[in-house]
Amino acid sequence: MILASLAILGGFILLVWSADRFVDGAAATAKYAGMPSLLIGMVIVGFGTSAPEMVVSAMAAVDGNPDLALGNALGSNIVNTGLILGVTALIAPIVVHSKIVRKELPLLLIIGLFFGALLWNGALERFDAVLLLIGFFVLIAWSIYSAMSNKGDSLETDTEQALHSHEMTLGKAIFWLIFGLIILVISSRILVWGSVSIAQSLGVSDLVIGLTIVALGTSLPELAASIIAVRKGEHDIAIGNVVGSNMFNILAVVGIAGLITPITSVAPEVLSRDWLVMMAMMVALLMMAYGFRRQGRINRVEGAALLLAYIGYTIWLVMSVIS
């Protein structure tokens, strides 16, 4: 039990550190390759901030724990929307200027509904996973098109400022890209082992561990990125990271894990509790940030509401385990 707890703690620390280095290295390498800043922000950084969820869920699926992978994806989206945006908005209200982010918000809802439809029969087969991965590649293609056709978007300006503050040589960028990825895989392996061990010791399901401990840990890079961004006035990056990560979590994280190990029996509470909470939070995010006839923004009161919703959901999970 003590060793497993240390594995989780050490895995979290290494995961956050390696994910940060991996994203910086990937973004700098892409910059040297001549990739536009907006495209780096939408694809490279968006993909990179979801790397912890992807690797952890893939490792869990390889080990035969697909429920942990599913819980990680759903839980990470709830953490992203409730905890991360809630805390970030309390620090400084998030103003949405980017037209691209405004287009991504309804797209996120469509992806969430599509995911719920796949889970409706109580299973996630390989064919379902393939459909999610096809959706992921379509999303990447759409992101590339949006980046190339929306030059001058405020998200581009924010990304340019963020890249400028992380300048490095090409050799250093490639080193951190490769080394960061290696440590990311190792730390994910350690984290999965510790989480499964804790779950077995406490008699808690892999799903609940994935929804809580693992989801919180794999979402820490997004929390750090959003807080730093909003303190620098890069509001569109703060919310864009979360929206992009949520889409990648559903399509890529669940898709990869389901392709490795299909889930033949999805627990009923996944749809009736976890998916519903995720969708409710995403609808609330759309209403706050889209800006119907006004400037899209998440103010401190709305941020507090998102945070309280996350706390309430976590208490609900804990009470379900106790009972």
- The residue-averaged pLDDT of 52-80 equals 89
Check residue 152 and give its pLDDT: 65
Tokens of 89: 């908005």
What's residue 154's pLDDT?
66
Each residue of 176-194: pLDDT tens digit? 888 888 888 888 888 888 8
pTM of the model: 0.87
Q: What is the pLDDT of residue 131?
A: 97
Sorted by where each begins, the domain ranges of the chain are: 45-151+203-322
Residues of the chain with pLDDT > 70: what percent? 90
CB 83 within 8 A of CB 314: no
Which has more pLDDT, 60 or 153?
A: 60
Reported as half-sphere exposure (CB side, CA atoms, 13 A), residue 89 has a value of 28
pLDDT at 290: 76
Is the pLDDT at 67 greater than 80, yes or no?
A: yes
Residue 167's contacts (CB-CB under 8 Å, 6 or more residues apart) are 28
- 3-state DSSP assignment of residue 103: helix
Quick check: helix, strand or coil at residue 195?
A: helix
Mean pLDDT, the chain, rounded, equals 85
Q: What is the CATH number of domain 45-151+203-322?
A: 1.20.1420.30
Q: What is the pLDDT of residues 108-159, one digit of tens each?
A: 999 999 999 999 999 999 999 999 999 999 998 888 887 777 776 666 666 6
Structure confidence by residue, pLDDT tens digits, 73-112: 999 999 999 999 999 999 988 888 777 778 888 999 999 9
Give whole-number Cα distances, 239 to 85, 116, 167, 276, 311, in Å.
7, 23, 23, 21, 20
Q: What is the pLDDT of residues 269-316, one digit of tens each?
A: 999 999 999 999 999 999 888 766 667 788 999 999 999 999 999 999
pLDDT number for residue 252: 92
Look at phi and psi of residue 280 and say left if phi exceeds 0, alpha if psi is from -120 to 50, else beta. Answer: alpha
Contact of 207 with 270, CB cutoff 8 Å: yes
Per-residue confidence (pLDDT) for residue 260, from 0 to 100: 95
Asked if 244 and 221 touch (Cβ cutoff 8 Å), the reply is no
